[in-house]
Amino acid sequence: TQLLEQSPQFLSIQEGENLTVYCNSSSVFSSLQWYRQEPGEGPVLLVTVVTGGEVKKLKRLTFQFGDARKDSSLHITAAQPGDTGLYLCAGASNEKLTFGTGTRLTIIP
Amino acid sequence: SAVISQKPSRDICQRGTSLTIQCQVDSQVTMMFWYRQQPGQSLTLIATANQGSEATYESGFVIDKFPISRPNLTFSTLTVSNMSPEDSSIYLCSATTGGWEQFFGPGTRLTVL
């Protein structure tokens, strides 16, 4: 069974601070995705990383895929209240996704 | 991309009854999936809905409990059968259009009394 552990599970920080969320697995994935989910909605894709060591930036969000394609991180710079949500990493293999345990992020104005 | 709608958005059901959830996509998609999510927690894949054939279930999920249909490339249903309070959850439908990205519906919040 493939497991993706995210840390921290919960994070509450002040607006303007920086944060990093980690996603770790013992399995290798073809690609790794990050989703954000808001209450009452389905997850929405933020980014897909495919190559080991790959770094992608999406405005204030920086995503990194580990060299061995087993782990990933999401760094948010100068967090805003609009960043509040449930962040989920997901590993892709055989056309299916295995979702991580999730990180509930709250940005306090 | 694909826009996905689900019906109903929420329901409260009695123990022992069954509920069928519908998932409609606004365009033809290659793969469709059904997930379960406890509020505030992660997603667990129930099954892959295959067009024209039986769904492929993940470990811990069986067809008798979660029968799935996919009669065409834009529509699927998930039935939660003989419900118990442990089935209370959010059920999400998703679809892909050929790449890795999955597009999700808004979910169906089910409460079983």
Residues of chain B neighbouring A30 (CB-CB closer than 8 A): 100
The chain A residue lying nearest B91, using CA atoms, is: A42
What pLDDT is recorded for position A8? 97
Which single residue is written with the structure tokens 């590993």? A91
Q: Return the structure tokens found at B8.
A: 């109903």
Instruction: Say if CB B1 and CB B57 are below 8 A apart.
Output: no
Residue pLDDT tens, chain B, 113 long: 889 999 999 999 999 999 999 999 999 988 999 999 988 789 999 999 988 889 999 999 999 999 999 999 999 999 999 999 999 999 999 999 887 789 999 999 999 99
Q: Return the structure tokens found at B53.
A: 């054939």
Task: Specify the number of domains making up chain A.
Answer: 1
The dihedrals phi and psi of B84, each to the nearest 5 degrees, come to -130, 165
Angle (CA) B68 A35 A105, round 5°? 120
Q: Return the structure tokens found at B9.
A: 């958005």
Amino acid letter at B20? T
| Cross-chain Cβ contact A41/B106 below 8 Å | yes
Domain membership of residue B103 (yes or no) is no
What pLDDT is recorded for position A2? 66
The dihedrals phi and psi of A91, each to the nearest 5 degrees, come to -95, 135
| Cross-chain Cβ contact A33/B101 below 8 Å | yes
Q: Give chain A's radius of gyration (CA, Å).
A: 13
Q: H or E element: which one contains B33?
A: strand B31-37
By three-state DSSP, how is residue A35 classified? strand
What pLDDT is recorded for position A30? 87
Q: What is the DSSP letter of A77?
A: S
Q: How many CB pairs under 8 A join A and B?
A: 52
Q: 10-residue block means of pLDDT along chain A (109 residues)?
A: 88 97 92 93 93 94 94 97 96 89 96
What pLDDT is recorded for position B46? 97
Which single residue is written with the structure tokens 């009394």? B113
| Cross-chain Cβ contact A99/B31 below 8 Å | no
| Cross-chain Cβ contact B59/A1 below 8 Å | yes
* Residues B73, A12: Cα–Cα separation, whole Å: 42
* Residues A65, A69: Cα–Cα separation, whole Å: 6
**What residues in chain B have their Cβ under 8 A from chain A's Cβ atoms?**
4, 31, 33, 40-45, 48, 59, 92, 94, 96, 100-107
What pLDDT is recorded for position A41? 93
CATH number of the domain to which A30 belongs? 2.60.40.10
What pLDDT is recorded for position A18? 98
What pLDDT is recorded for position B1? 81
Of A43, A95, A100, the CB nearest to B104: A43
Domain membership of residue B70 (yes or no) is yes
What pLDDT is recorded for position A38? 93
Domain membership of residue B112 (yes or no) is no
Full domain range(s) for residue B57: 33-98
Residues of chain B neighbouring A92 (CB-CB closer than 8 A): 100
Domain membership of residue B66 (yes or no) is yes
Full domain range(s) for residue A87: 4-108
CATH number of the domain to which B67 belongs? 2.60.40.10
Amino acid letter at B62? V
What pLDDT is recorded for position B101? 86
* Residues A73, A91: Cα–Cα separation, whole Å: 13
Residues of chain B neighbouring A54 (CB-CB closer than 8 A): none
Domain membership of residue B85 (yes or no) is yes
The chain B residue lying nearest A47, using CA atoms, is: B101
